[in-house]
Amino acid sequence: EAAAAAAMAEVLDPQNVTVNYQNEKAGCQPLTDVKLYNIWCFDGPEGVSFTEVSLLDYIAVNPTKHATYVPHTAGRYSNKRFRKAQCPIVERLTNSLMMHGRNNGKKLMAVRIVKHAMEIIHLLTDQNPIQVIVDAVINSGPREDATRIGSAGVVRRQAVDISPLRRVNQAIYLLTTGARESAFRNIKTIAECLADELINAAKGSSNSYAIKKKDEIERVAKANR
């Protein structure tokens, strides 16, 4: 939290703003790109790549549009349908951690947990944690689900395809739910559990709660085709 505050203070420092403005006037590029927590790159050689093109527009990691220093933009993403697709993916993960009454509104705590989890991911995998999060979301979103068809008495299940936005929504929900459940009554912290969940999901391992749930959803859908 202190590091995030320091990063924000550095960005908002009038002296830095003046220097950047002078650089722009002179046609120079600023010395640093926007990095998450002032550590992780959104672009460059260690930037973010996509293995699934269909989710490209729904996972917001574009370095020009969605790069932020902290996952706390205070944007009103729920006012309009589909606007939440523009919310940076790391911020969506952060928001999803604030579930259950006792955690509502504690965004600074969620930001701190995500930062800690990303540091653990980098130590364990030696990869850009933003890339690991993107891979985890891509792998955890179910492609097919079963819906209820019929009214009143006769109700049957029918398999349907899932839209890209719902895939991302489901993936984020499953990842954070898995981390929360594994941290409950456990000596491991929520940050450690979130890091483990993201790493396993990014690898497609069945040790991940999200991957297990995704497989279960798809299995039920397949049975109801």
pLDDT at 49 over 80: yes
CA angle 146, 179, 78 (to 5 degrees): 65
Whether residue 181 lies inside any domain: the answer is yes
CA distance 105 to 184: 19
Domain span at 105: 33-223
Q: Is residue 193 part of a domain?
A: yes
From the list 205, 162, 196, the residue with the least C-alpha distance to 176 is 196
Assign 3-class secondary structure to the chain: CHHHHHHHHHHHCHHHHHHHHHHHHCCCCCCCCCEECCCEECCCCCCCCCCCHHHCCCCECCCCCCCCCCCCCCCCCCCCCCHHHHCEHHHHHHHHHCCCHHHCCCHHHHHHHHHHHHHHHHHHHCCCHHHHHHHHHHHHCCCEEEEEECCCCCCEEEEEECCHHHHHHHHHHHHHHHHHHHHCCCCCCHHHHHHHHHHHHHHCCCCCHHHHHHHHHHHHHHHCC
- Residue 94 belongs to some domain of the structure: yes
Alpha carbons within 13 angstroms on the beta-carbon side of residue 79 total 5
pLDDT at position 25 is: 46
pLDDT at residue 29 is higher than 80: no
In our burial notation (b when 16+ CB lie closer than 10 A, e otherwise), range 71-98 reads bbeeeebeeeeeebbbbbbbbbbbbbbb
* For residues 33-62, average pLDDT: 83
**CATH code for the domain of 78:** 1.10.455.10
Residue 138 domain-assigned (yes or no): yes
Mean residue pLDDT of the chain comes to 86
Residue 84 lies in a domain: yes
**Spatial separation of the C-alpha atoms in residues 60 and 85, rounded to whole Å:** 7
> What is the pLDDT at residue 129?
93
pLDDT in tens, 153-193: 888 899 999 999 999 999 999 999 999 999 999 999 999 99
Domain count along the chain: 1
CA distances from 193 to 28, 89, 91, 114 (A): 43, 19, 18, 11
Q: Is residue 114 part of a domain?
A: yes
pLDDT at residue 28 in the model? 44
* Residue (of 151, 136, 149) closest to 55 by Cα position: 136
* Domain presence at residue 27: no
Q: Per the structure block, which two tokens stand in for 149? A: 């068809």
Asked whether residue 54 carries a pLDDT value surpassing 50, the answer given is: yes
Structural domain contains residue 16: no
- In this predicted structure, the answer to whether residue 30 has a pLDDT above a threshold of 70 is no
**Which pLDDT score is estimated for 27?**
47
- In the predicted model, is pLDDT for residue 14 greater than 80? no
